[in-house]
Amino acid sequence: MNSSRQDYLQAVYRLSLKRGYTTNKEISAYLRISKASVSEMIRKLVADGKLKLQKNNISLSTEGEKEAKTVLSKHRIWEYFLVEVLKMEHGSVHEQADLLEHVTSDALRDALNKYLGYPTLSPNGKFIYENMEEVRETMRSL
């Protein structure tokens, strides 16, 4: 999936946390993209099964939510690495992590996770979803 589609899934995820859905207008403002461009991408992501559209309410499908959380996890793992290992300033890592999340393979993510000890929270205190799932699975097996 290309970085533009990943950005849309992340936007829908973040914007729909409180109500369970978002709108074209909110996505347009969040991504600073025209409403027409948002509408076009929403149609594509609905056709791909990543989003659901009911009237004007846009939400993630199960598959779309999984992909959004995967990209967010990569982003937050990079934030953790940049702050904890490279000692970069907290305020400067978001943009770097945003670039790195899109080019991070699953193998690189796994290697970073192993190196970092599978952190469950980013430096901002936000969940690294994939590692939280790992913790849940470990707890279930005990």
CATH class of 3-60: mainly alpha
66-141 topology per CATH = Diphtheria Toxin Repressor; domain 2 (1.10.60)
Please report which confidence band the pLDDT of residue 3 belongs to, taking 50, 70 and 90 as the band edges.
confident
Residue carrying the six token digits 């205190």: 125
This prediction's pTM: 0.85
Q: Is residue 60 left, alpha or beta, with left meaning phi > 0 and alpha meaning psi from -120 to 50?
A: beta
Domain boundaries, the chain: 3-60, 66-141
CA separation (Å) from 10 to 5, 105, 130, 140?
9, 17, 15, 29
In total, the chain counts a number of residues equal to 142
pLDDT of 31-54, one tens digit each?
Answer: 999 999 999 999 999 999 999 999
